[in-house]
Amino acid sequence: MTTDNKEFVLRKNDLIENNEKLSQKSKNRMRKSKASNTLRAYEADWMDFYDWCSYHSLKSLPAEPETIVNYINDLADNAKANTVSRRLSAISENHIAAGYEDNNPCRGGLVRNALDAIKREKGTIQRGKAPLLFEDLQDIAQYFDINDIVGIRDKALLLTGFMGAFRRSELVKINVEDLNFSRDGVIILVHQSKGDQEGQGEYVAIPYNTDSSVCAVVGLKSWLDIAQLKIGPLFRPFNKYKQIRDRRLTDKSVAIIVKKYAALAGRNADNFAGHSLRRGFATSAAQHDVDERTIMQQTRHKSEKMVRRYIEQGNLFKNNALNKMF
C-alpha cells in the first residue's frame, strides 16, 4: 500500500476508500467508527511522531520497532508515562488503518519492554482535577444570583452536572426535549457518551432535593421558565446584553463556570475543571456510603476501576486508622 507518510491514515483510510466492493453508504458509516475528539487527539499524536521521524530521517509508516522505542524514550524525557502510552496507541491505530495489523511494530516485545521500563521509572499516577464535593456545592449555592438570568443558568448547569454525574461534553449536548419531568424529579436522555459510542442512549434520573438551594430539578425549571426554551440546546451562552444566543454552550465554558464559582466560594480555581462535577459526585457518594453499583448506575461507568478509585479517595479520612486513635 502506497501512502504519503504525512497523511493521517485514520481520517481517510485507503483500505476502505479504495475498496470497490464496499458501497458508498458503507464507506460513509465506517468513517464514523471513531469519535471526532478521538480522531483529533490521535492525529495530533501521530503528527508529533511523524515530525520526530522526519527530523531523524526515519520512516514513520511502517516504522521499525527500534524507531518507535527511540521515539518514546525521547518523549519520556519531558512527558508523563500516560502521555507516552497514549501516543503509542495513536501510532498503533494508524499502522492498523494503513494495513499493517499483522505486522504492527507497536505490538512487538521490544516496544512493550520499552514502555514497561518507562512506566516503572516515571510511574503512572494520574493527577486529575479536584472533585467539587456536595459540601462545596452547598457553599457555592449562596453565590448563585437567582435574580439574574446568568446566575439562574449557572445554577442549573452546575447542579445538573453534579447530580447527573455528567461529563462536560454530555452536559452541553443536552436538549430541552431530552428532559422529562415527573413528580419524582427529572429524567434526562443522554443520546451518546464516551461510554456509549454506539449511541444506544442512556437515561439519568435526578430526584428532587429537600434543599431547594441545591436542587437540580428546581434549578432546571427556573432556567427553562426564564429562558422560555421549548426546543434545542438546553444550556446556551449569552451576548454582552445578556440575551440568550441560539447555539450550544461549549464544553470549555463549563470549566470556566466551575472555576468561577469555586473561586467565589474561596477555593483555588486552578484545582477545578469541568470534570470536577462528575468526579465530585462519585467521591461525595462514596463519602456517604453509597455502594459501588449504585454509584456506577448514575455515573454510567462501564468499568469498576475508576469508580473504585473515587471510592478510595472519598474514604481516605472515613476509614483512616488515626480516627480510632484520636
Tens digit of each residue's pLDDT (9 = 90 or more) over 160-192: 999 999 999 999 999 999 999 999 999 999 987
Which uninterrupted H or E stretch holds 42? helix 36-55
Determine the pLDDT at residue 14. 67
pLDDT, mean of residues 225-235: 96
DSSP one-letter code for 204: E
Residue 2 is predicted with a pLDDT of 39
* One domain, residues 38 and 148: no
What is the per-residue pLDDT across 27-49, written as a single tens digit (0 to 9) for each? Answer: 777 666 667 778 888 899 999 99
**Are 151 and 20 part of one and the same domain?**
no
Q: Is the pLDDT of residue 1 over 50?
A: no
Residues 214 and 269 in one domain: yes
- Report residue 127's pLDDT band, with 50, 70 and 90 as the boundaries: low
pLDDT at site 286: 87
Rounded to whole angstroms, the Cα distance separating 192 from 184 reads: 24
State residue 136's pLDDT score: 94
How much is the pLDDT for 26?
A: 80
Q: Give the chain's end-to-end CA distance (angstroms, integer).
A: 70
In a domain, 234, yes or no: yes
The pLDDT assigned to 120 comes to 87
Do 184 and 71 fall within a single domain? no
For residue 6, being part of any structural domain is answered with no
pLDDT (average), residues 15-24: 77
Q: Is 202 helix (H, G, I), strand (E, B) or coil?
A: strand
What is the total count of domains within the chain? Answer: 2
Which residues touch 125 (CB under 8 Å, ≥6 apart)? none
Does residue 1 fall inside a structural domain?
no
Share of the chain above pLDDT 90, in %: 64
Residue 276 lies in a domain: yes
- Active-site residue, selected from the candidate residues 173, 275, 279, 300: 275
Q: Is residue 4 part of a domain?
A: no
User: Does some domain include residue 129?
Assistant: no
Asked if residue 113 and residue 59 are part of one domain, the reply reads yes
From 71, 244, 224, 228, select the one nearest 160 (Cα to Cα). 224
**pTM of the predicted protein model:** 0.67
Boundary (domain end) residue, out of 122, 142, 163: 122
Mean pLDDT of 288-316: 83
Res. 197: pLDDT tops 70: no
Same domain, 141 and 251: yes
Domain-terminating residue out of 122, 143, 178: 122
Res 310: pLDDT: 74
Q: Any idea what the CATH number is for the domain that residue 261 is in?
A: 1.10.443.10
| CATH number, residue 83 | 1.10.150.130
Which is catalytic among the residues 194, 248, 308, 309? 194
CA distance 145 to 148: 6
Q: If pLDDT is split at 50, 70 and 90, which confidence band does 193 have? A: low
Q: Is the pLDDT of residue 117 over 90?
A: yes
pLDDT beyond 60 at 67:
yes
pLDDT computed for residue 198 by the predictor = 56
**Cα separation of 249 and 178, whole Å?**
16
Q: Quick one: pLDDT at residue 3?
A: 42
Q: What confidence tier does 141 reach under pLDDT thresholds 50, 70, 90?
A: very high
Residues 45 and 114 in one domain: yes
Hey, how many other C-beta atoms are within 10 angstroms of the C-beta on 42?
23
The mean of the pLDDT values for the chain is 88
Report yes or no on 8 lying in a domain. Answer: no
Domain that holds residue 24: 14-122
From 153, 155, 173, 301, active-site residue: 301
> Do 228 and 140 belong to one domain?
yes
| Residue entry with cell 451576548 | 239
Last residue of a domain, one of 89, 122, 155: 122
Asked whether residue 177 falls in the same domain as residue 293, the answer is: yes
Average pLDDT, stretch 70-79? 92
Span 219-230, average pLDDT: 96
Give the residue carrying C-alpha cell 497514549.
Answer: 86
Mean pLDDT, rounded, for 114-138: 84
Min mean pLDDT across 66-75, 187-196, 204-213 is at 187-196
Residue 322 lies in a domain: no
User: What are the b/e assignments for 219-235, b being 16+ CB within 10 Å?
Assistant: bbebbbeebebeeebbb
Given 153, 236, 278, 279, which residue is catalytic? Answer: 278
Cβ 54 vs Cβ 88: under 8 Å: no
Catalytic residue among 95, 155, 167, 173: 167
The answer on 65 and 19 residing in a single domain is yes
Q: Is 26 in the same domain as 118?
A: yes
The pLDDT, as a whole number, for residue 312 is: 78
Annotation says 194 is catalytic: yes
**167 and 292 share a domain?**
yes
Is 275 a catalytic site residue? yes
